[in-house]
């Protein structure tokens, strides 16, 4: 079944092994022959190369050099080293070639070989090859080293010599006969180098040499690296100018270094009119424009922009208006390229760039290292000379002089205002003329600077500072805007959506931004007395325009990016002017109100939470009457109370919190018990039970009156400067004490007082607590505004310090002589404490250059930093009751009115309409009639305020009138010795009505219970007696204790 496997005979295996052995031997012999041949070739080649190198070395050592032998030696070098790896010999050959060109002997000249018909063609090919290798080597050289610097000098001289025949001695000795030939020869060589990437090599060389904090190129090598002779000798052809722009002008800070190292080269650039040729390439030649702009990334575009700007700066005396327009076109496109690459925030795809912020491209290290020089060039954009250059037609305007007046009249002339309104005028008119050349150039400049601030956000403040401090730009821009007749406020929505008027919108925005930047730093003497740069009458007109335009944009114009930008700039300037007017009025009364806005329509949209109504109340509240805004505030309170269940329908009891206060520990008990209440509990009814000095509970039920009494007593104690929680300013107003920290629990008390004051405002209880304006600004949160300046508020705190800082600001000598430092010293508990206004401030002297910073830092420290912790605690407590957004519609003076009542004269008729009577008095009672008649006819405004303070503890009436006084004002009949009259019996009412009463009192003084807003009035027999007793009582501040 199974068969055995046949075995292979032994001799067959032996034969196979023998055959394999013979085959291997043959292969080894063949390989040995190949290796021997390769070795022989290698040794022979090396011998030949060595021989050639020896020949080259001998030729290089020859003195003087022989042109023909140098040609053959160079040929040998190129034969054995086509790629130029033998750098040492290649450099030596280049050096000898240059040395030969300086010899007097014709036979020594390397270029003399070109005159030999036998070798002419070979020489041309050779010099092209040599110069091409020179360009290749230039790419990688580091010119910041000594060795690299010497090589760069040799290579650049090679390119310079053999692309400009005028540098050859042959051209000088042979006269004019050879010049056409030599010119053609150099042009041929130059064209070859350009074709093979000479400009790319020079670009890399310049980038390596200038892309660092300290330039590696010298005043010799830098001009040579530009290859300007090549450019000019070829007649500045378009393709070479394109390469020059794309490779030379994209090197960071090239023109800056060139101007510093070689001013004569800058003169040469001006002589060949390089700027004009650049503008032709970038504006008039679409194909060249496309080549350049397609190759640009963010850093290259920025460098090109800066170098072009520098060229404009160098030619500022001779540049023509048409050229300036083309410059702005090119610069604007470069800015847009930069802006497209900038990111909005940090991400894995962005890197930080000092000019663009977060940048979407990886930045070349060499550009980043040269950024300090780029920034210097960028400074030219906002330098006074450059601004003057771009705004030349604007500065040439000569507006007609108008009579100056500082008197504010309600019916002030509207001529200038109407002109200015025409800036936003008649867009729909079909008869609009095209702008004149002057208008077009001014609008171009405005649009350019608007684009600069958009694309270079880190430099925005520099632009605004330069333009605003240029003495003539702002007033003449104001005049220019008044002459435009392109737009109309009623048709602004069409202007915003119509690109035809984009430049006019840019001009308006620029004016708003620059004027805002300037006005915010003007002190009161400059603004109100000197009236620089605006007259007060101009500011009134401008405020009127901004008020109406802002309202129009919010209320009538649909949302869009352009509308939002215009509105933002308009509101910034508007807020600055309104803040000035709120602090020190320069506009007429009721100036900011918009009569076209119907409050009923606004209220309807506000209740429906329409966006434009909410924005109007937040951004432009002053266009509504203050009373309406207070009504909105009270409505918000009422709505919230309903939502929290504090106000309930029917007879359901409202939630209440009870606190027990010892008369002897008023502030401590109030702090301990109210601080534990939640925000909701604090907004609910808080009922107070007093414990008297004997430790007994006082009788009575709190129906809001006792809490008001508690509030009044707390206010008197807590805001007393002797407690050192608050201090009194020079104007007699309260602000947190910087030294309150001697009480370890002071911050807790500030938070408690913030809650208590918030509760008073929430309930509409007016308290007579006059706060300093700067503190109210901080309570509102307006100090966070970028345009807020604590320096403006300093006089309300420390007028002496303000005067001293004014002297420093206006000091005409060297401020360093005053020996001031960035520090502030004050005495505390017998010790002198130093506060540094900045890091190492005590070691930083105040100089003419930094004094503005010193002034604002010191004002910020005194009004903000010193009381920061106290303010934060107070505001935290206040906002736990009153949300911040509810207060955005009030200014600082209006918040004071919300706290302490209206500052208008007391309305006697309004008080009479809202008075309740007890103890037999009624509205027709003889004594009551006398009382109202005395108040109306005999009492002055100050006496009326004193009467109001006598009966309510506050000298000001409630904001919405006496109908909102809590509790209601009441008058109670008292007889001799009847302080405890319960009143209101039927018999007492009838007796009072019929004048049948207990005996008259001509001795007793009127008294009051301010916690109940109650006047206790005896039954006087004469009107004159009532008048005299009442006047005496209010002047003596009579209360419970005086009778």
Q: Which are the catalytic amino acids?
A: 1011
Which tokens in the block code for residue 385? 């000379």
- The closest alpha carbon to 740, from 753, 750, 725, belongs to 725
Residue 409 zone, left/alpha/beta (φ > 0; ψ -120 to 50; rest): beta
The structure tokens listed for 401 are 């002089």
Measured CA to CA, the distance from residue 639 to residue 643 in angstroms comes to 6
Could you give the count of Cα atoms lying within 13 Å of 573 in the half-sphere of its Cβ? 27
**Cα–Cα distance, 430 to 409 (Å, whole number):** 37
Of 446, 245, 419, 232, which is closest to residue 334 (Cα–Cα)? Answer: 245
| 659, containing H or E segment | strand 656-662
> Exposed, middle or buried by CB within 10 Å (0-12, 13-18, 19+), for 727?
middle
Alpha helices in 611-745 (DSSP H): 611-619, 626-644, 666-674, 679-683, 705-718
Q: What share of the chain is helix, strand, coil (3-state, %, to 5)?
A: 60, 5, 30
Question: 493 with 466: CB under 8 angstroms?
Answer: no
DSSP secondary structure letter of residue 845: B
Decide: 358 and 346 in contact? Cβ < 8 Å.
Answer: yes
DSSP 428: T
For residues 918, 924, 927, 931, the Cα torsion angle rounded to the nearest 10 degrees is 90
- To the nearest 10°, report the CA torsion of 150, 151, 152, 156: 110
Cα separation, 397 vs 385, whole angstroms: 18
Residue partners of 426: CB distance under 8 A and separation at least 6: 432, 485, 486, 487, 488, 491
Which of 886, 935, 879, 931 is closest to 907 using CA atoms?
935
Which residues, other chains included, contact 840 with Cβ-Cβ below 8 Å and sequence gap of 6+? none
Taking Cα atoms as reference points, which of 215, 202, 207, 201 lies closest to residue 144?
Answer: 215
d(CA 101, CA 161): 9
731: tokens are 């104007």
Torsions phi, psi for 175 (to 5 deg): 75, -155
Tokens of 516: 């805002």
Task: Return d(Cα 687, Cα 707) in angstroms, integer.
Answer: 6
Contacts of 864 (CB under 8 A, 6+ apart): 778, 783, 790, 871
| CB 510 within 8 Å of CB 477 | yes
Asked if residues 110 and 101 have their Cβ atoms less than 8 Å apart, the reply is yes
Spatial CA neighbour of 972 closest among 1022, 1024, 1013, 924: 1013
**20 CB contacts (<8 Å, ≥6 apart)?**
none
Q: Spell 399-425 as b/e; 16+ CB within 10 A means b.
A: eeeeeeeeebeeebeeebbebbbbbbb
828 bridge partner residues? 831
DSSP code per residue over 174-236: STTTTHHHHHHHHHHHHHHHHHTTHHHHHHHHHHHHHSSSS--S-TTHHHHHTTHHHHHHTT-
Question: Which helix (H) or strand (E) is 972 found in, with range?
Answer: strand 969-974
Quote the DSSP letter at residue 820. -
Q: Say how far apart CA 152 and CA 155 lie, in whole Å.
A: 5
């Amino acid at each position: 079944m199974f068969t055995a496997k046949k075995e292979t005979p032994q001799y067959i295996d032996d034969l196979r092994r023998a055959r394999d052995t013979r085959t291997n031997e043959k292969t080894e012999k063949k390989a040995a022959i190949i290796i021997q041949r390769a070795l022989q070739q290698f040794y022979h080649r090396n011998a030949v190369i060595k021989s050639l190198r020896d020949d080259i070395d001998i030729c290089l050592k020859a003195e003087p050099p022989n042109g023909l032998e140098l040609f053959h030696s160079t040929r040998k070098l190129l034969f054995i080293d086509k790629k130029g790896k033998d750098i040492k010999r290649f450099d030596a050959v280049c050096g000898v070639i240059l040395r030969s060109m300086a010899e007097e002997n014709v036979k020594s000249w390397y270029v003399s070989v070109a005159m030999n018909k036998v070798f002419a063609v070979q020489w041309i090919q050779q010099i092209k090859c040599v110069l091409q290798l020179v360009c290749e080597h230039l790419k990688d050289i580091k010119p910041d080293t000594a060795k690299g610097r010497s090589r760069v000098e040799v290579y650049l001289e090679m390119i310079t010599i053999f692309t400009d025949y005028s540098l050859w001695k042959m051209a000088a000795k042979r006269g004019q006969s050879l010049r056409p030939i030599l010119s053609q020869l150099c042009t041929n060589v130059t064209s070859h180098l350009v074709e093979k990437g000479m400009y790319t090599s020079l670009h890399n060389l310049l980038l390596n040499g200038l892309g660092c904090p300290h330039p590696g190129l010298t005043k010799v090598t830098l001009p040579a690296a530009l290859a300007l002779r090549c450019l000019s000798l070829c007649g500045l052809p378009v393709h070479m100018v394109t390469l020059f722009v794309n490779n030379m002008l994209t090197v960071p800070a090239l023109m800056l270094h060139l101007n510093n190292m070689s001013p004569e080269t800058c003169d040469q650039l001006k002589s060949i009119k390089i700027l004009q040729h650049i503008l032709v390439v970038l504006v008039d030649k679409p194909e060249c424009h496309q080549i350049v702009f397609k190759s640009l990334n963010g850093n290259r575009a920025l460098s090109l922009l800066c170098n072009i700007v520098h060229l404009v700066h160098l030619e500022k005396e001779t540049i023509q208006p048409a050229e300036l327009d083309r410059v702005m076109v090119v610069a604007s496109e470069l800015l847009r390229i930069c802006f497209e690459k900038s990111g909005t925030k940090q991400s894995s795809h962005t890197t930080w760039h000092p000019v663009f912020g977060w940048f979407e491209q990886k930045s070349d290290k060499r550009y980043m290292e040269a950024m300090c020089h780029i920034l210097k060039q960028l400074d030219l954009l906002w330098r006074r000379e450059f601004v003057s250059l771009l705004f030349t037609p604007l500065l040439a305007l000569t507006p007609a002089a108008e009579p100056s007046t500082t008197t504010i009249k309600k019916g002030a002339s509207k001529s200038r205002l109407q002109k200015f309104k025409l800036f936003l005028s008649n867009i729909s008119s079909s008869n609009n003329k095209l702008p004149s050349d002057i208008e077009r150039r001014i609008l171009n400049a405005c649009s350019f600077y608007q684009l600069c601030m958009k694309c270079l956000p880190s430099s925005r403040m520099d632009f605004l500072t330069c333009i605003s401090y240029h003495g003539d730009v702002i007033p003449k821009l104001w005049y220019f805007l008044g002459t435009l007749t392109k737009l109309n406020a009623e048709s602004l929505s069409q202007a915003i959506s119509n690109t035809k008027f984009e430049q006019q919108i840019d001009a308006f925005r620029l004016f708003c931004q620059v004027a805002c930047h300037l006005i915010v730093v003007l002190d009161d003497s400059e603004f109100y007395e000197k009236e620089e740069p605006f007259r007060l009458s101009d500011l009134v007109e401008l405020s009127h325009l901004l008020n109406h335009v802002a309202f129009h944009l919010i209320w009538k114009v649909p949302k869009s990016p352009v509308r939002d930008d215009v509105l933002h700039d308009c509101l910034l300037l508007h807020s600055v002017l309104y803040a000035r007017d709120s602090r020190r009025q320069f506009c007429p009364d009721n100036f900011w109100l918009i009569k076209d806005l119907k409050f009923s329509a606004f209220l309807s949209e506000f209740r429906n939470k329409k966006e434009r109504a909410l924005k109007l109340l937040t951004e432009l509240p002053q266009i509504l009457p203050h009373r309406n805004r207070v009504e909105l505030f009270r409505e918000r309170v009422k709505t919230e109370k309903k939502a929290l269940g504090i106000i309930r329908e029917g007879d359901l009891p409202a939630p209440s919190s009870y606190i027990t206060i010892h008369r002897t520990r008023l502030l401590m008990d109030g702090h301990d018990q109210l601080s534990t209440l939640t925000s909701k509990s604090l907004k609910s009814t808080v009922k107070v039970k007093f414990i008297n000095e004997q430790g007994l509970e006082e009788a009575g039920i709190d129906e809001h009156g006792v809490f008001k009494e508690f509030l009044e007593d707390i206010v008197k104690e807590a805001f007393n400067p002797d407690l050192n929680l608050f201090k009194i300013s020079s104007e007699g107003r309260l602000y947190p004490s910087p030294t309150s920290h001697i009480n370890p629990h002071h911050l807790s008390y500030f938070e408690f007082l913030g809650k208590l004051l918030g509760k008073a405002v929430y309930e509409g209880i007016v308290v007579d607590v006059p706060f300093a304006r700067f503190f109210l600004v901080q309570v509102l949160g307006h100090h966070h505004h970028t345009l807020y300046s604590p320096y403006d508020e300093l006089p309300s705190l420390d007028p002496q310090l303000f005067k001293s800082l004014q002297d420093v600001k206006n000091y005409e000598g060297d401020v360093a002589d005053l020996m001031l430092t960035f520090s502030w010293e004050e005495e505390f508990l017998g010790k002198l404490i130093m506060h540094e206004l900045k890091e190492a401030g005590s070691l930083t002297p105040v100089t003419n250059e930094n004094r503005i910073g010193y002034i604002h830092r010191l004002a910020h420290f005194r009004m903000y930093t010193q009381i920061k912790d106290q303010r934060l605690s107070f505001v935290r407590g206040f906002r736990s009751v009153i949300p911040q957004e509810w207060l955005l519609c009030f200014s600082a003076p209006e918040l004071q009115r919300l706290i302490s009542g209206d500052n208008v004269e007391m309305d006697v008729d309004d008080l009479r309409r809202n008075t309740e009577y007890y103890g037999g008095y009624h509205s027709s009672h003889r004594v009551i009639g006398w009382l109202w008649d005395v108040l109306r006819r005999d009492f002055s405004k100050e006496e009326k305020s004193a009467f109001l303070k006598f009966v309510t503890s506050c000298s000001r009436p409630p904001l919405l009138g006496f109908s909102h006084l809590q509790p209601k004002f009441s008058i109670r009949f008292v007889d001799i010795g009847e302080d405890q009259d319960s009143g209101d019996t039927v018999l007492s009412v009838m007796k009072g009505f019929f004048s049948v009463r207990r005996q008259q009192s001509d001795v007793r003084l009127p008294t009051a219970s301010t916690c109940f807003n109650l006047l206790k009035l005896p039954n006087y027999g004469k009107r004159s007696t009532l008048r005299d007793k009442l006047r005496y009582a209010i002047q003596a501040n009579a209360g419970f204790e005086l009778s």
